[in-house]
Structure 1
């Protein structure tokens, strides 16, 4: 025979259940939401994975420049078994530049780890960081072959100029990706990456701005002209209008149309420019076409977005 429960006691049980059950369900639903926030939706995952391409490029270039070795020594667990870069070298950097580049290098290692903690990722793509690759880019920027060919590993100044090519492309990509992301977790990660990439670009631009009038031997061309040529080329390859500026610009393009110095590049309101993955591929391939691999990625970039253009 079932135990007897008085009507009063039953009423109390019903009242307690009505109060406690919603709290249990709320706690459960909150836990589910929190857990799902750790795993970005597919579109987010594709965009975050795409960013790995540039992070690998930066990590290897900076690590080799400062230390003479790359991820295979510094963080082999992050390579995914991908091939080592082509032609990367150590540079005899001055003490300040070596200090700065070494900091950048380990920051990029952290970026790779952070992205791979959120998405599956892919093995390091084949990267061409040879002097020949950079020389071709500089020839395109100047519209003629430089004699002798530009060598990013020749000295500190050349390496800083070559470094100017890279972080800015990544930061414009992060600006562009942010509005497409659906997950707050993904947006938080991209904001963190954007903050440091922007800082790297600002430091490089400041180092070059201090030497803006210095002639780059043996070409007899000022540092500011190198940055202007590189920025013009990136805008041209991106094929979406002006989204790049050197360290010295006509007054009309400076902040509020009042200055020529341009340590930080920005639009009419001094906001960072935005680029799509397609624009970035056009630039890093050096082809102006997201379907035509080359440049720093002789076999093409990796991930669903990049590979979709190579099919």
Structure 2
């Protein structure tokens, strides 16, 4: 009980900084197309019939993504991670005062019976300490982002943290627990099995890999949209923290993978990685942790840069669905709040 009180008390001590972001849209190519069209017309002879006046159909315009949109997108990923680690450490979600905001507010779907979100009975005190520290950081991120957004902060939507075979959403739909759905899709478990991330240390780490690995790529992908250096500095700080978390998780999984009979960890992680990569398009945005003979603790490109995902790709992964226009599913069974909530075709 004291641990839980201490854990929740840290929220009141979070640092607050000012932060805002703005995205800009690059437009090009129109002038070249127009020049080509005029050249064609000039080559045609005049006739007695005037050319009909054609009013061009205006191209659909997309509202620019604002700083607040990007921050709110990041905030909802933090809601997901914050609740996961909070349940693993204390058996409860984030405090009520950190869940309010614009849009629809809902709670965490914990499930019932096997696979229900709950505190993990850690057997390794080192992994327990990792979980505790990461939980503190995630709550601090939520507090920080909400402070920067002020009244524009979006509320916590429905979050599916269950590994149960089936759960009911607040809207009344029956869906599988998100962790079980992800594990089944990746072929980590059979079609009738469940994956309970709160059952033991290894499952907890695999569940952490499912979430935190995606969080790192999401922050990397948003970096190119930030124009204000002050806000870029703050975002870089969160990205670095998430990368530290991911490094701890991947290293822990690798160490366990070297210990018999847990060598199947390498295969399970690679299957999850391949499944996520299949959801977000043809580009390589995901990597496993390697094999017993060669580690891959830091997922990077050929230049040694950490991998990144666009917001669209992140949504495909957390919705567990690559369909165009998907607005809900997976870890967010009733969708997300804010203006970044739909998906289009990935490259």
Q: TM-score, normalization: structure 2?
A: 0.70
Deviation for aligned residue 1:165? 0.5
* Aligned residues of 1:173 and 1:274 also touching (Cα < 8 A): yes
What are the ranges of 5 or more consecutive residues in structure 2 without an aligned counterpart? 1-17, 23-64, 111-116, 164-176
CA distance in 2, matches of 1:148, 1:214: 24
Aligned to 1:79: 99
Identify the match of residue 284 of structure 1 among 315, 318, 325. 318
Structure 1 residue 299 and structure 2 residue 334: aligned?
A: yes
Larger Rg, first or second structure (1 or 2): 1
* 151-160 or 195-204, larger mean C-alpha shift: 151-160
Deviation for aligned residue 1:38? 5.1
Aligned to 1:232: 274
Name the structure with the higher helix share: 1
Q: Which runs of 4+ in 1 moved over 3 A?
A: 37-42, 213-216
CA distance in 1, matches of 2:216, 2:20: 23
Aligned to 1:4: none
Identify the match of residue 156 of structure 2 among 107, 124, 127. 124
Deviation for aligned residue 1:260? 2.5
Deviation for aligned residue 1:297? 0.4
Over 3 Å counting, the alpha-carbon distance change for 1:214 and 1:249 in structure 2 is closer
* Aligned residues of 2:220 and 2:308 also touching (Cα < 8 A): yes
What are the ranges of 5 or more consecutive residues in structure 1 without an aligned counterpart? 1-36, 251-258
Over 3 Å counting, the alpha-carbon distance change for 1:106 and 1:38 in structure 2 is closer
Aligned to 1:273: 307
Over 3 Å counting, the alpha-carbon distance change for 1:274 and 1:308 in structure 2 is closer
Identify the match of residue 115 of structure 1 among 145, 156, 169. 145
Over 3 Å counting, the alpha-carbon distance change for 1:133 and 1:215 in structure 2 is farther
* Aligned residues of 2:319 and 2:329 also touching (Cα < 8 A): yes
Identify the match of residue 264 of structure 2 among 203, 216, 222. 222
Over 3 Å counting, the alpha-carbon distance change for 1:39 and 1:172 in structure 2 is closer
Deviation for aligned residue 1:307? 5.5
Q: TM-score, normalization: structure 1?
A: 0.77
Q: How many residues end up aligned between the 2 structures? A: 259
Aligned to 1:183: 228
* Aligned residues of 1:44 and 1:186 also touching (Cα < 8 A): no
CA distance in 2, matches of 1:129, 1:99: 21
Deviation for aligned residue 1:48? 1.2
* Aligned residues of 2:285 and 2:307 also touching (Cα < 8 A): yes
* Aligned residues of 1:134 and 1:152 also touching (Cα < 8 A): yes
Deviation for aligned residue 1:83? 2.1
Deviation for aligned residue 1:308? 8.2
* Aligned residues of 1:287 and 1:294 also touching (Cα < 8 A): yes
CA distance in 2, matches of 1:160, 1:85: 20
CA distance in 2, matches of 1:55, 1:263: 23
Over 3 Å counting, the alpha-carbon distance change for 1:65 and 1:54 in structure 2 is same
CA distance in 2, matches of 1:235, 1:52: 23
Deviation for aligned residue 1:183? 1.5
**What does 1:27-176 correspond to in 2, within 5 Å?**
39-41=20-22, 43-72=66-95, 76-80=96-100, 82-87=105-110, 88-94=117-123, 95-119=125-149, 120-131=152-163, 132-142=177-187, 145=190, 148-176=193-221
Deviation for aligned residue 1:290? 5.6
